[in-house]
Amino acid sequence: MFSDSWMLLITLIVMAVMVQFSFAKGRSEAARVSVNAAELLALYRDSQKQLNEMQEQYSKERSEVQRELFKLQVKLQVYEERMRIAGITLDVDTHARLHIAIYDLILVHMGLNELRTAVFYIDMNWDMIEGETLPLKAQSLVTQLEREGKMDNFLKEMRQRFPHIPWPQTDGQGRPIASPPPKEEQPSPPTNSKRTL
């Protein structure tokens, strides 16, 4: 009986020591976690700040690039029209020019989400278009549109859904057509601007 009492006492002492140890360990764990949480919060805030700065910089640069590309497209259209009027032709594959024009318009005026929406409108499977980034998706889409004969359908849908983008005109068979010459402004007839008092 004496040995059972001692065993019970030893067991109780061991249990008390274990409780004390686990309590002390729990306090140090909690302190360590709070330090880690503070460090993590600081790292998160720094990363968020960097992300915001990069997004702002990207937005500014993208806007500048969009303006420059638009200016160049307008210049090219003016030169092409002048050349057409003068009877000058270029040895350029018209399909390649159409593909490049559509690709450039997508990159300048659309993001991945808008492109995904556009693909939905023409009943194509987004996941079947290769690439993860906008340039790769745009390139793959243009190639797939040509292969599947959906170029005209795509352009028609894009003119309706995104009218602010100067989509090229096609002849119904995927071939680009020249845009009509600009209308010359007719001088307005003189008006009689006499006032009677």
Q: Please, which pLDDT band fits residue 149 given cuts at 50, 70 and 90?
A: confident
- In this prediction, residues 94-105 reach a mean pLDDT of 82
* pTM (two decimals): 0.45
How many Cβ atoms sit within 10 Å of the Cβ of residue 166?
16
Region of residue 190 (phi > 0: left; psi between -120 and 50: alpha; otherwise: beta): beta
Task: Compute CA distances 5 → 11, 13, 23, 31, 103, whole Å.
Answer: 10, 12, 27, 39, 88
Give the residue-averaged pLDDT of 97-114. 88
| Cβ 127 vs Cβ 141: under 8 Å | no
In which band, very low, low, confident or very high, does the pLDDT at 185 lie, cut at 50, 70 and 90?
A: very low
Mean pLDDT of the chain: 75
